[in-house]
Amino acid sequence: MKVKGSAFKFGDHIDTDLIIPARFLNVSDKDELAKNCFADLRPEFADKAKSGGVIVAGENFGCGSSREHAPIAIKAAGIGCVVARSFARIFYRNAFNIGLPILEATMEQDFIAEGDPVSVDLTSGEVRNEANGKTVQAMPLPPFMREMVECGGLVPYIKKQKMKSEVNDIHK
């Protein structure tokens, strides 16, 4: 399972107020949230991310509030994956729950520049800068988490599991 796209580069401690400011949280619609993703920090983000992309960030990405609207907005904006040096814990959980794959990787600052073409292999955990061929190894996702991401999050994953077990019951 591979994700490809241009890099959107961010620094350390990108908080959820920056990802989606609270004034936009009076709605839960994902497309509305996507329009306002990084509204103050990078007003051009929502437009540019439409054609896909990978966020590459520093430490503690997603710190602050528990708003699930943050990963929802990023995913709905068109981002296929977030690679960061580290994530805040609530964001980490929320991202998988809503089906946004995220990977922790130890990267040098200059490993990827803004706009570089990036590919991320969720199975092996390899993050590749297609511009110069350089790679880093992120912690790969265990199979069940890949499946959760493929299903689109925890809820569809649980539904699929349920269906599987029902089908198995029939065949027993």
Partner 1 sequence: MRMTITEKILAAHAGQDAVAPGDLVQVRVDMALANDITAPLAIAVFHELGASQVFDREKVALVPDHFVPNKDIASAEQVKMMEAFADQYKLKNYFKVGDVGIEHVILPEKGLVAPGDLVIGADSHTCTYGAMGAFSTGVGSTDLGAIMATGKTWLKVPETIKVIYKGTLKPWVGGKDLILFTIGRIGVQGARYRTLEFTGPVLKELRMSDRFTMANMAVEAGAKNGIFEPDDAVRDFMKGRTEREGVYWKSDPDARYDEIVEFDLSDLELQVACPHSPENVLPVSSVEKVPLNQVFIGSCTNGSIDDLRMAANFLKGRRVAEKTRLIVIPGSPLIYKQAMQEGILEVLLDAGAAIGPPCCGPCLGGHMGILAGGEKALATTNRNFIGRMGHSKSEVYLAGPAVAAASAVLGRIGSPDEL
- Residues numbered 43-82 forming contacts with partner 1, rule: CB under 8 A: 59-60, 63-69, 71-72
User: For the stretch 88-105, what's the b/e string if a residue is b when 16 or more beta carbons lie within 10 angstroms of its beta carbon?
Assistant: bebbbbbbbbbbbbbbbb
Provide the token pair at 136. 């880093």
CA distances from 88 to 13, 122, 126, 164, 169 (A): 9, 20, 22, 33, 40
Binding map of partner 1 across residues 102-141, x = CB under 8 A, - = no contact:
----------------------------------------
8: closest CA among 100, 113, 103? 113
Q: Given the complex with partner 1, which of 6 and 161 has the nearer CB atom?
A: 161
Nearer to partner 1, 53 or 62 (CB): 62
Q: How many residues bind partner 1 (CB under 8 A)?
A: 37
CB nearer partner 1, residue 57 or residue 118: 57
- Reduce the DSSP state of residue 42 to 3 states and report it: coil
SS3 102: strand
For residue 146, state whether it binds partner 1 (rule: CB under 8 A). no
In 3D, which of 73, 75, 70 has the Cα closest to residue 54? 75
What would the x/- binding string for partner 1 be over residues 11 to 40, using CB under 8 A? --x-x-xx--xxx-xxxx-----------x
Binding site for partner 1 (CB under 8 A): 13, 15, 17-18, 21-23, 25-28, 40-41, 59-60, 63-69, 71-72, 86, 88-90, 93-94, 97-98, 153-155, 158-159
